[in-house]
Amino acid sequence: MSESEARPTNFIRQIIDTDLASGKHTSIHTRFPPEPNGYLHIGHAKSICLNFGIAQDYQGQCNLRFDDTNPEKEDIEYVESIKNDVNWLGFEWSGEICYSSNYFDQLHGFAIELINKGLAYVDELSPEQMREYRGTLTQAGKHSPYRDRSVEENLALFEKMKNGEVEEGKMCLRAKIDMASPFMVMRDPVIYRVRFANHHQTGDKWCIYPMYDFTHCISDALEGITHSICTLEFMDNRRLYDWVLENITIDCTPHQYEFSRLNLEYTVMSKRKLNQLVTDKLVNGWDDPRMPTISGLRRRGFTPGSMREFCKRIGVTKQDNTIEISSLESCIRDDLNENASRAMAVLDPVKVVIENFDGETETLMVANHPNKPEMGTREVPFSRELYIEGEDFREEANKKYKRLVLGKEVRLRGAYVIQAERIEKDAEGNITTIYCTYDKDTLGKNPADGRKVKGVIHWVSAEAGIAAEIRLYDRLFTVPNPGAADDFVSVINPESLTVLHGFIEPSLVTAEAEKAYQFERIGYFCADNKDSSADHLVFNRTVGLRDTWAKIGD
């Protein structure tokens, strides 16, 4: 991460400053604990930047810990993708990667301790009965008929669960807390359940698995975490977090702090819904550039710096809100406007023939960035036949139209002034060829006789240009809050992906995957990191040059 990126401040950092000043802590230890049941999305990027950023700025430590207590939904593919995402964003975890499954033996021991203290019992209520017994927000729950089993009976039954002698759903281990608590999470929560599932780290060693709320706080304590930072939906769970640590024999007692999760317009952040999009093939995988996943945004051309800048701009608060997607797009525009090399591509080609050009193909030297000479120049071939954008020519136009008009002049970017003389059309009336002349004395300078040429258009040599597939990505949903729709699938944007077949200048043949380019006058693009090859070049639009959606909404 760049040292020049300004250090942010927020209420969590203020707490840390106070804790260090008071001597409560002498060093800071955070963690990022994703569940490996899907790819990370931009909301996770906010948490990554917060936890790793704090460790970095306070010369502390930040663990990467996989919360892997639900083997049926987890996969090693997700583990690897998460590691890649953290590294790509510019962060390194402290020491070895941690897994909650590393602590299964200790977690089992703490469960035994709670049973021996009379604070946990094996329950045989069905899931339906358990919901009925739990009560409601306005009505207290009632005790399970199995709640007052003896310690010896609970130990024996828990051992049977551990040994695989109990069917799934027939028994579970519950904490004995308070069925009348106004907080539902404290009404004798389940802390262990039976699952006959192969685990990606422990194989078939276990057939009982601890629940998140039991595992998370103990994992934090075992790792010496000082500030356990999570999102607001876990605020009530803090009571259970503290209860578990207060009732087991453990040295470290970390504290949980909550901040608001990231809600972003025109996206869904629910892993269940993202998984549905992938499973139902409504998108082309977790890394589809329309997805809000980190890998999808990366494939689309977003940079680590733009993502970190976005997370810095939106800040860390306790106030739930929804961020306009234009804020995210502004960050990548600012980044790429400054750092992306320029190039030319024609997405909707129409042929131009320069009738008075009789020589060999010329090689022009064109700047890679208009304001950064240090980025150098590139060779761009100029030939008798060119391609320009269909929308850059009109037979007739008013004075506001600054592009090519029949009988008038325009400048080709980095090249000559041309004038349209005549056109050819096909049987349907579509323009197939524009015949032009050029002023050979206008390379890099204005016409000698002082006439004004106001318009500039981009172009590609028809002889040297390379065919390419251009993918124009747009917002995946047509409404700002698709999660609020009765059926979020029904508001998918049918025009979220448009595939065009155009031509690019030859310098782009060697474009590295994910490297950003500004296609002049069109937008920012990058070579696809999956489908693009020397035989079939594919470029993804990262973002347009300006926010066209804002205009549509006006």
Q: Which residue has the tokens 């190039």?
A: 343
Q: DSSP states of 159-202 as a string?
A: HHHHTT-S-TTT-EEEE---TT-SSGGGSS-EEEEE----BTTT
Instruction: State the Cα–Cα distance between residues 425 and 436, nearest whole angstrom.
Output: 15
66 neighbors 97 (Cβ within 8 angstroms): yes
Q: Mean pLDDT, to the nearest integer, of 29-47?
A: 97
For residue 523, the surrounding DSSP H or E stretch is strand 523-527
pLDDT value, residue 549: 58
Q: Mean pLDDT, to the nearest integer, of 411-424?
A: 97
What are 41-96's pLDDT values in tens digits? 999 999 999 999 999 999 999 999 999 999 999 999 999 999 999 999 999 999 99
Residue 2 predicted with pLDDT over 80: no
176 neighbors 151 (Cβ within 8 angstroms): no
Q: Which residue has the tokens 């037979």?
A: 395
Residue 7 predicted with pLDDT over 80: no
Q: Which residue has the tokens 């124009």?
A: 472
Burial class of residue 510 in the structure, from the number of CB atoms within 10 Å of its CB (0-12 exposed, 13-18 middle, 19+ buried): exposed
What DSSP state is assigned to residue 27?
S
pLDDT value, residue 366: 96
pLDDT value, residue 359: 84
270 neighbors 329 (Cβ within 8 angstroms): no
Domain 263-343+466-554 class in CATH: mainly beta
Tokens of 333: 């525009």
pLDDT value, residue 554: 37
**Which residue in 35, 124, 153, 385 is the catalytic one?**
35
pLDDT value, residue 303: 98
Residues in the annotated binding site:
35-37, 41-47, 67, 212, 231, 261-262, 269-271
Residues in the annotated binding site for ATP:
35-37, 41-47, 231, 261-262, 269-271
**Which residue in 142, 271, 402, 530 is the catalytic one?**
271
Radius of gyration of the chain (CA): 30
230 neighbors 316 (Cβ within 8 angstroms): no
pLDDT value, residue 6: 59
pLDDT value, residue 244: 98
Question: 261 an active-site residue?
Answer: yes
Q: What is the CATH number of domain 345-458?
A: 2.40.240.10
pLDDT value, residue 553: 43
What are 123-171's pLDDT values in tens digits? 999 999 999 999 999 999 999 999 999 999 999 999 999 999 999 999 9
**Which residue in 73, 142, 195, 261 is the catalytic one?**
261
| Residue from 5, 40, 46 nearest 327 by CA | 46
Residue 4 predicted with pLDDT over 70: no
What are 269-321's pLDDT values in tens digits? 999 999 999 999 999 999 999 999 999 999 999 999 999 999 999 999 999 88
Nearest 5°: CA angle at 108, between 107 and 113? 95
What is the pLDDT confidence band of residue 491, given thresholds at 50, 70 and 90?
Answer: very high
Residue 371 predicted with pLDDT over 80: yes
pLDDT value, residue 417: 97
CATH superfamily of 104-213: Glutamyl-tRNA Synthetase; Domain 3 (3.90.800.10)
Q: Which residues contact 254 (CB under 8 A, 6 or more apart)?
A: 217, 220, 221, 224, 225, 226, 227, 228, 245
What are 185-242's pLDDT values in tens digits? 999 999 999 999 999 999 999 999 999 999 999 999 999 999 999 999 999 999 999 9
Residue 430 predicted with pLDDT over 50: yes
pLDDT value, residue 546: 87
Diameter of the chain by CA atoms? 104
Task: Tell me, rounded to whole angstroms, the distance of Cα 161 from its chain centroid.
Answer: 40
pLDDT value, residue 552: 46
What are the backbone angles phi and psi of residue 553, rounded to the nearest 5°?
A: -75, -15
pLDDT value, residue 380: 98
Identical fold between 263-343+466-554 and 345-458: yes
- The fraction of the chain above a pLDDT of 90, given in percent, is 94
Q: By 3-state DSSP, what share of the chain in percent is helix, strand and coil, each rounded to 5?
A: 30, 25, 45
Quote the mean pLDDT of the chain. 95
Hey, where are the domains in the chain?
104-213, 263-343+466-554, 345-458
Tokens of 106: 């200790």
pLDDT value, residue 550: 54
What are the backbone angles phi and psi of residue 477, rounded to the nearest 5°?
A: -125, 155
Tokens of 9: 């401040």
What DSSP state is assigned to residue 41?
B
Report helix, strand or coil for 382: strand
